[in-house]
Amino acid sequence: MKQEILNRFLRYVQIDTKSDENSETYPSTKKQFDLARILEKELANLGLKDAGIDEYGYVTASLPSNIDKDIPVIAFLAHMDTAPDMSGKNVRPQVFENYTGEDIIINKDLNIHLTVKDFPELKNYTGQTIITASGNTLLGADDKAGIAEIMTALEYLVKNPEIKHGTIKVAFTPDEEIGKGVDFFDVKKFGADYAYTMDGGEVGELEYENFNAAGISIKIQGRDIHPGYAKGKMINAIHVATELNDMLPIDQRPELTENLEGFFHIIRFIGTVETAEIHYLIRDHDMDKFEQKKTFIKEVVSLINKKYNREVARYQLEDQYYNMRKKIEPVFHIVEQAKQAMIEVGITPNVKPIRGGTDGARLSYMGLPCPNIFTGGHNFHGKQEFIPLESMEKAVQVILKIVEKSTK
């Protein structure tokens, strides 16, 4: 099974599927169809006659039930796009077999390493097979590992019809990384009773709660005057923007928070004396604190305008997704089922909140309860991303065990 997983994964990550948050199309990049068409063909070759891809890039398929009793329809999902943070073009995966437990040189010329000092979790994978990119791009395990795991599990079930299962649905979605992954997903047509996204990190992760999320963009209108004659007249938009940023609590930045702590995350700044623009992510697991954060940043904008006695700052704030816990708790048996599946394949479940979001968060609010399961990867979205092959194999085993347990 490991070789099948590896072959799939190496093939998928070399297809550029980077999404674009500034695009007005759906999917945000046409190149996501390149992987979608490959997956559609592979699903059809497995004998899934309803395998298809729609105008929005959603790839879906069903493995029909092979048992006589009526049981809930279960689904597994993963996303095809990779993060806009880092290039996904010309990904060149590297395979380090029989990892020795020492530092890994990803790219000697660029001085990019995986060091045990910086990433002590590497020691957990001594003797295993580690996969990285080449130092110029991300790897794309988020979430092509999830795709490879689902496809491998499907192939295993097709080739071993003696394994009893109900109807199993799969879906591969675009644009998850930019928060638009299920904008046009038809939950009713899909027809699953519950689902799991294969989109988590290291082995054992199981998540059924996530951030409440919003994004805010703030535009600053300054006044550019010749600096030699600027006294009392110039309003430097760069200074206004940095002043506004300094009014946000320093201890609520991503690099200073953990567990259930929320944050304000500045993700983009563009500025001249005349105009500036700042973009933030607002995150918190607690809905009350989430609302307080949104209120606070709006009040900061108001204070800036009062100081300058004019509307120098304007904002546009939009909620992005909400904590799925509220929708999962009424059907908590699907979390318990995943926990028990992990235990039965020798994994200690690590149930914790996601410090992020997945398609599953929005799907849960659309009527498809959808907790999140590990894929096995580390350091997503960066050049030091890596994933152990054995972790992907464990993810496949968990999928198969969930399928088995769903028939009981």
**Residues annotated as part of the active site:** 81, 176
Residue 223, strand partner residues: 235
CB 212 within 8 A of CB 283: yes
Cα–Cα dist 309/25, whole Å: 39
CB 222 within 8 A of CB 277: no
CB 218 within 8 A of CB 234: no
- Quote the tokens at residue 329: 């708790």
Cα–Cα dist 184/190, whole Å: 12
Give residues with Cβ within 8 angstroms of 217, minimum separation 6: 277, 278, 279, 280, 315, 316
Cα–Cα dist 139/6, whole Å: 13
Distance of CA 379 to the CA centre of its chain: 12
- Quote the tokens at residue 145: 């590992």
Query: In the block, which residue shows the tokens 């399961």?
Result: 373
Which of 395, 380, 403 is closest to 347 using CA atoms?
395
**How far separated are the first and last CA of the chain, in Å rounded?**
25
